Amino acid sequence: MAGGNAIRGSRVGAGPMGEAERGETAPRLRVSFWCANGHETQPSFASDAQIPDTWDCPRCGFPAGTERDAPPDPPRTEPYKTHLAYVRERRSDADGEAILAEALAKLRGEI
């Protein structure tokens, strides 16, 4: 026997809504944006809204601009650096040898 609740799975206010219930839609303007990969995105904006200079491409995530022939450059990503790579940027090999010698002398009880 099936359950007795006829509105199961719906929510309050759900159902088809027409223009009469929602009111008139604001006038819209579709603007084309192109990314460095050549993807075109056409978001719609209210006709009186300020159009942004860049828009994130939904396909690749690169920034997109309104000029097809001159899209914005993709962001430059730095490769992951380990802690040791950062230490090597700050200290030379000679500094590292001096610090190691000092630490070993401290462990041996020479200092």
Is residue 60 part of an annotated ligand binding site?
Answer: yes
Is residue 36 part of an annotated ligand binding site?
Answer: no
Round to the nearest angstrom and report the end-to-end CA distance of the chain: 87
Is residue 53 part of an annotated ligand binding site?
Answer: no
Residues 6 or more apart whose Cβ sits within 8 Å of residue 56: 62, 63, 64
Is residue 39 part of an annotated ligand binding site?
Answer: yes
Residues belonging to the binding site are: 35, 39, 57, 60
Residues belonging to the binding site for Zn(2+) are: 35, 39, 57, 60
